[in-house]
């Protein structure tokens, strides 16, 4: 794992990151570079760096790279195709999210033509978990909170419950899907406490744009998928802050 030391280089290319603050320890790489190129698809991108190429209409940064490779006449290999397909598959929820466009499917079809095992990629991304993670999710499902007549549903997890099942809280990236899949949910929120920080994932099943709420807390993302960190004394307080913020949208 990268330790955060500064690395002198000519160019640092930042992919799929809407805000320089989200680079974490990797910001040292950007700081040590003579120039920074920002390639992204988040509508809330801050256009940091010396050059920013942002396509909010793209479902994934992998789509943008595919098109850039074509323009630059870079020949794709099987490995490159696998990486690009993984990026697109991940950001579209295996092409189940509303951001999957006709271009997403066309590009995916072309990448599959390079002989990649697309079924195994999908399995590794969405259907391959540790037993501890599943047991943790089963317990959390029973503690989902509903607000505004069930239009907003939340789930929270702290380090204590993660330790109970031997799971690193940072590795649980899809908790928000627990409340999201319940019928009637318009907005789903998961809040995790890990490493002294409270992080929220926001997802919309309908017309509510969750990136506006994420921006209020210094975060960002897409209209239907966003995230942020919350400054609060406890996970319960953070949850209520999020609930109140969405109350303004639900009316």
In this predicted model, what pLDDT tens digit does every residue of 110-127 receive, in sequence order?
999 999 999 999 999 999
Per-residue DSSP letters for 101-162? -HHHHHHHHHHHTTT--HHHHHHHHHS---HHHHHHHHHHHTT-EEEGGGTEEEEEE-HHHH
Whether residue 2 has pLDDT greater than 70:
no
What is the distance between the alpha carbons of residues 48 and 57, in angstroms, rounded to a whole number? 19
Whether residue 236 has pLDDT greater than 90:
yes
What is the distance between the alpha carbons of residues 237 and 87, in angstroms, rounded to a whole number? 34
The domains of the chain are located at 9-125, 131-250
What is the distance between the alpha carbons of residues 118 and 132, in angstroms, rounded to a whole number? 26
* CATH of region 9-125: 3.90.1640.10
What pLDDT sits at residue 74?
A: 96
Whether residue 4 has pLDDT greater than 80:
no
**What is the H or E stretch that residue 12 is in?**
strand 9-15
Which tokens is 244 given? 């109140």
Q: In what order do the strands lie in the sheet with 220-221?
A: 145-147, 152-157, 187-194, 197-204, 225-230, 220-221
DSSP state of 115: T
Whether residue 5 has pLDDT greater than 80:
no
Whether residue 194 has pLDDT greater than 80:
no
Arch. (CATH architecture) of 131-250: Roll (3.10)
What pLDDT sits at residue 174?
A: 84
Tens digits of residue pLDDT in 50-61: 999 999 999 999
C-alpha torsion 233→236→240→246, nearest 10: 110
Whether residue 84 has pLDDT greater than 90:
yes
């Amino acid at each position: 794992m990268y330790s955060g030391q500064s690395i002198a280089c000519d160019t640092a290319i930042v992919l799929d990151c809407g805000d320089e603050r989200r680079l974490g320890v990797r910001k040292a790489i950007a700081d040590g570079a003579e120039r920074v190129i920002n390639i992204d698809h988040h509508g809330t991108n801050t256009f940091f760096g010396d050059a920013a190429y942002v396509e909010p209409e793209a479902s994934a940064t992998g789509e943008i790279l595919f098109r850039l490779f074509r323009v630059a006449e870079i020949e794709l290999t099987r490995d490159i195709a696998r990486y690009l397909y993984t990026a697109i598959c991940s950001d579209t929820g295996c092409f189940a999210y509303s951001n999957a466009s006709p271009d997403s499917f066309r590009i995916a079809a072309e990448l599959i033509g390079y002989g990649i095992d697309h079924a195994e990629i999908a399995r590794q991304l969405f259907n391959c978990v540790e037993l501890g993670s599943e047991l943790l999710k089963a317990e959390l499902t029973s503690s989902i909170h509903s607000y505004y007549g069930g239009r907003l549903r939340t789930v929270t997890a702290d380090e204590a419950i993660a330790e109970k099942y031997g799971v690193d809280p940072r590795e649980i990236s899809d908790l928000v899907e627990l409340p999201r899949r319940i019928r009637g949910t318009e907005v789903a929120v998961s809040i995790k406490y890990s490493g002294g920080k409270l992080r929220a994932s926001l997802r919309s099943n309908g017309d509510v744009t969750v990136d506006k709420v994420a921006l209020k807390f210094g975060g960002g993302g897409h209209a239907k998928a966003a995230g942020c960190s919350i400054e609060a004394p406890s996970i319960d307080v953070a949850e209520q802050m999020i609930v109140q913020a969405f109350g303004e949208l639900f009316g």
